[in-house]
Amino acid sequence: DTEVTQTPKHLVMGMTNKKSLKCEQHMGHRAMYWYKQKAKKPPELMFVYSYEKLSINESVPSRFSPECPNSSLLNLHLHALQPEDSALYLCASSQRLAGGLLSTGELFFGEGSRLTVL
């Protein structure tokens, strides 16, 4: 199994809603990532978890709250989002992080969750 599965594929929410994005991998990877991608732009790193601990938070607003319940699952909780948060949210995993907390290996990406904030 070399898949990273993301749900839902599409999500529309209002600015007062609370929703969650989910990501799952069964490759035994111990590093998991959330990226935000706007149209025709590269992915922007948001969070990195290593061995279920938050390793990197790229100054993301607190309305985005990541959670890593176990080594296979990664969630992104959304609350009080703004229309400019509308984007494709990509989850990725890699085998491990290097000693400096950053990846040296291949990232496996999910198909993404397309989020629209009204």
Which CB, 64 or 89, lies closer to other proteins? Answer: 89
CA distance 78 to 76: 6
CA distance 91 to 7: 10
CA distance 20 to 105: 28
Residue 41 interacts with other proteins (CB under 8 A)? yes
Residue 105 interacts with other proteins (CB under 8 A)? yes
Task: Say whether the peptide bond before residue 8 is cis (omega within 30 degrees of 0).
Answer: yes
Residue 118 C-beta: closest distance to other proteins, Å: 21
Residue 66 interacts with other proteins (CB under 8 A)? no
Tell me which of 21, 66, 89, 110 binds other proteins, using CB under 8 A: 110
CA distance 37 to 102: 20
Which CB, 68 or 113, lies closer to other proteins? Answer: 113
Identity of the residue numbered 31: A
Residues that bind other proteins (CB under 8 A): 33, 40-43, 45, 48, 88, 90, 92, 98, 100, 102-112
